[in-house]
Structure 1
Amino acid sequence: MSDRNALGISNGNLVVKPRGLDRLWGFRKQIVVPLDRIERVEVELHPRAIRRGLRAPGLDAYWKRSGTFHPGGERHYWNQSGSGPVLVVVIAGGDPFARLYLSVADAESAREMIAEEANLTL
């Protein structure tokens, strides 16, 4: 899987930093989410099957999605490349997004790390 996002924990927040040109295509240098607002963390094995809704702003071309998408009145952030699994972070209240869909080197390890830091049961 493509490692398109750097994940870190800082001061009680999940910090997502898109890598390389993904910052430009997705219109984000970083996304900061308080750990206590994370409801769930999942690994989605088939992200291409997920309804994305309208893209604005961002990129949706071939095997690359980067930016803000609006399915069913929600606001989701995608930074995904390729056809492999993605990390899905579900955020209470939808601020800054209701969900994050992220390509990371090891989605399962990232899920476990975030769940542990946010005190979520898997």
Structure 2
Amino acid sequence: MALIAVDRARGTLTVQLTGLDRLWALKSRVEVPLTQVRGATHDPGMVHERKGTKLGGTHMPGVITAGRFRRDGELAFWAVRKPADAVVIELTEGAPYSRLVIGTADPRATVALVEQAIAAA
């Protein structure tokens, strides 16, 4: 599971991985400037799409997808266990990833948090 936080003063969005997800993803946090966040959606079906080449992390279909994956020249960061919890955060060109696919405890609240943050930025 991941915690998503927005720091408006610093203008950043932070994804903090918790528990064993840190181990599976080989990363404990991802931070991106709010100016590089295009939007967020709750998308349970995303976990069924092709991931691409794993560049570090874990992929056990139906169990967990965590880490960095390259597909069609784009780099994405994944940290999802349950498809129903998947939130997709789309990032702009120049960001460290093209998208973040993150499992959160409350996907709808996470989407609202991200959308409000970029609207205020």
TM beyond 0.5: yes
Structure 1 unmatched ranges of 5 or more: none
Structure having the larger proportion of residues in helix? 2
Aligned-pair distance for 1:94?
4.6
Aligned-pair distance for 1:85?
3.8
Aligned-pair distance for 1:45?
2.2
Aligned equivalent of 1:79: 79
Contact 1:74/1:94, CA 8 A, preserved across alignment: no
- Paired with 1:81 and 1:50, the residues of 2 have a C-alpha distance of 14
Aligned equivalent of 1:52: 51
In the superposition, the TM-score normalised over structure 1's length comes to 0.89
In the superposition, the TM-score normalised over structure 2's length comes to 0.90
Deviation digits for residues 85-122 of structure 1, max 9, x if unmatched? 411011101521110000001111110111101118xx
Aligned-pair distance for 1:41?
0.9
Give the secondary-structure state (helix, strand or coil) at the position aligned to 1:97. coil
- Paired with 2:47 and 2:95, the residues of 1 have a C-alpha distance of 24
User: Aligned runs of 1:26-41 on 2, under 5 Å?
Assistant: 26-41=25-40
Aligned-pair distance for 1:56?
1.2
Poorly superposed stretches of 4+, deviation over 3 Å = none
**CA-atom RMSD, angstroms?**
1.4
Contact 1:77/1:100, CA 8 A, preserved across alignment: yes
- Paired with 1:92 and 1:32, the residues of 2 have a C-alpha distance of 14
Contact 1:76/1:100, CA 8 A, preserved across alignment: yes
- Paired with 1:82 and 1:45, the residues of 2 have a C-alpha distance of 8
Q: Which amino acid aligns with 1:117?
A: A
Q: Which amino acid aligns with 1:49?
A: H
Q: Which amino acid aligns with 1:54?
A: T
- Paired with 2:94 and 2:100, the residues of 1 have a C-alpha distance of 10
Contact 2:47/2:86, CA 8 A, preserved across alignment: no
